[in-house]
């Protein structure tokens, strides 16, 4: 049987999760976090969410709103209060300084540089409980959480393919293997990342802009970093290098996926959306550096043409790379006459 205190804390945690979810993905490289402060009688004192790098963390923002009313309060937080000084000070110390009596957090902080807030609070005499709605909290920041555990950016590989595994026809034409609905869905997924990555071959052949656009084709205000990797020189006039597009661009002169991810990690990139051609995709797959696969499958057959992925060094069915399907969606036509597409999401190789 639950107690009134436990019920109030669970309600507050669900509210904190709502606050965090309302912010959207623009907080990367930081996680989405919500905080609710409860008075000793269980009533609400203040609430806040983290709004992005350089802005106050959720706990600090809620404490600022509460003022002296934070003393003896219970702080309900979706992520373990941070224990380090980055762009802002440590939230664990801020909670101690404010006189908070109890802290309940959902998810342990997987970032080794920031973890330990719970122990700091306990050492300071604060009651601490963890694990309340932990799965829901982790689901708020799945790519960020996994990136922190891996020590490198989380990699989502997106591909568009025919039923027989072709990304382009024999004459090289590929517009449009995927439907309008699938392309719009791709832009939605792009917006969840902080980095778009392609190879030099894609830039030379397709000259992509790699922007994130709304259904009306208007670019979104927030754009990921546009990155091309490879050793070949590129024409600076290619659209990926357009300085008028927000978000910036970068040419990583390496063919090594690990080196590319390490360089992006140093730039605080946490979620890479891989949209390169079959050669780049194969390089990441061979290296075991694909965490998620999103495949848009069109109900068409080409029989010949460019494969969706390049050579993987697999010579027998026993050595096949198996993926775990986590979601399958039917994308209904968004325009007259177009095909229905499937979106299949899978856990990758890492």
Domains in the chain, start-ordered, CATH in brackets? Answer: 4-140 (3.40.140.10), 152-347 (3.40.430.10)
| Whole-number Å distance between alpha carbons of 155 and 89 | 30
pLDDT number for residue 350: 67
pLDDT per residue, tens digit, the chain (350 aa), is 689 899 999 999 999 999 999 997 778 899 999 999 999 999 999 999 999 888 999 999 999 999 999 999 999 999 999 998 777 789 999 999 999 999 999 999 999 988 999 999 999 999 999 999 999 999 999 999 999 999 999 999 999 999 999 998 888 777 778 999 999 999 999 999 999 999 999 999 999 999 999 988 899 988 999 999 999 999 999 999 999 899 999 999 999 999 999 999 999 999 999 998 999 999 999 999 999 999 999 999 999 999 999 999 999 999 999 999 999 999 999 989 899 999 999 998 76
pLDDT number for residue 52: 87
Residue from 350, 23, 332, 349 nearest 341 by CA: 332
Residue from 135, 143, 121, 170 nearest 302 by CA: 170
| Whole-number Å distance between alpha carbons of 223 and 210 | 9
- CA 223, 227, 228: angle at the middle one, nearest 5? 145
Instruction: Indicate if 59 belongs to the active site.
Output: yes
pLDDT number for residue 326: 97
| Whole-number Å distance between alpha carbons of 46 and 68 | 11
For 247-314, the three-class secondary structure string (H helix, E strand, C coil) is CCEEEECCCCHHHHHHHHHHCCCCEEEECCCHHHHHHHHHCCCCCEEEEEEECCCCCCCEECCCCCCC
Angle between helices 58-66 and 4-21 (to 10 degrees): 120
| Whole-number Å distance between alpha carbons of 285 and 99 | 50
| Whole-number Å distance between alpha carbons of 275 and 193 | 12
Q: CB within 8 A of 259, min separation 6: which ones?
A: 252
Say if residue 262 is exposed, middle or buried (CB neighbours under 10 Å; 0-12, 13-18, 19+): middle
Torsion, Cα of 56, 62, 63, 69 (10° steps) = 170
Choosing from 9, 59, 80, 292, which is the catalytic residue?
59
Q: Contact, 68 vs 28, CB < 8 A?
A: no
pLDDT number for residue 89: 83
Q: Contact, 66 vs 73, CB < 8 A?
A: yes
| Whole-number Å distance between alpha carbons of 152 and 271 | 9
Residue 172 region by backbone torsions, left for phi larger than 0, else alpha for psi between -120 and 50, else beta: left
């Amino acid at each position: 049987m639950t107690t009134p205190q436990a019920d109030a804390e669970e309600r507050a945690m669900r509210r904190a999760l709502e606050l965090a979810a309302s912010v959207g993905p623009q907080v990367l490289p930081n996680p989405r976090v919500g905080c609710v402060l409860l008075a000793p009688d269980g009533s609400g004192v203040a609430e806040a969410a983290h709004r992005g790098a350089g802005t106050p963390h959720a706990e600090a923002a809620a404490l600022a709103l509460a003022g002296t009313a934070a003393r003896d309060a219970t702080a309900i937080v979706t992520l373990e209060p941070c224990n380090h000084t980055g762009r802002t000070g440590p939230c664990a110390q801020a909670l101690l300084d404010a006189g908070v009596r109890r802290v309940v957090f959902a998810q342990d902080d997987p970032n080794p540089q920031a973890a330990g807030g719970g122990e700091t609070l306990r050492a300071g005499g604060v009651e601490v409980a963890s694990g309340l709605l932990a799965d829901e909290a982790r689901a708020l920041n799945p790519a960020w959480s996994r990136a922190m555990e891996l020590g490198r950016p989380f990699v989502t590989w997106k591909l568009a393919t025919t039923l027989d595994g072709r990304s382009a026809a024999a004459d090289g034409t590929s517009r449009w293997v995927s439907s309008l609905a699938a392309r719009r869905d791709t832009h939605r997924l792009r917006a969840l990342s902080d980095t778009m990555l392609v190879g030099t071959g894609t830039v030379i052949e397709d000259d992509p802009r790699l922007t994130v656009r709304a259904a009306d084709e208007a670019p979104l205000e927030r754009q990921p970093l546009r990155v091309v990797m490879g050793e070949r020189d590129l024409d600076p006039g290619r659209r990926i290098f357009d300085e008028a597009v927000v978000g910036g661009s970068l040419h990583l002169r390496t063919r090594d996926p690990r080196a590319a991810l390490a360089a992006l990690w140093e730039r605080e990139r946490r979620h890479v959306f891989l949209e390169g051609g079959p050669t780049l995709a194969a390089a990441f797959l061979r290296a075991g550096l694909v965490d998620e696969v999103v495949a848009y499958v069109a109900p068409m057959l080409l029989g010949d043409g460019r494969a969706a992925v390049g050579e993987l060094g697999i010579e027998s069915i026993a050595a096949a790379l198996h993926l775990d399907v986590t979601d399958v969606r039917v994308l209904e036509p968004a325009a007259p006459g177009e095909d229905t597409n499937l979106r299949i999401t899978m856990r990758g190789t890492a």
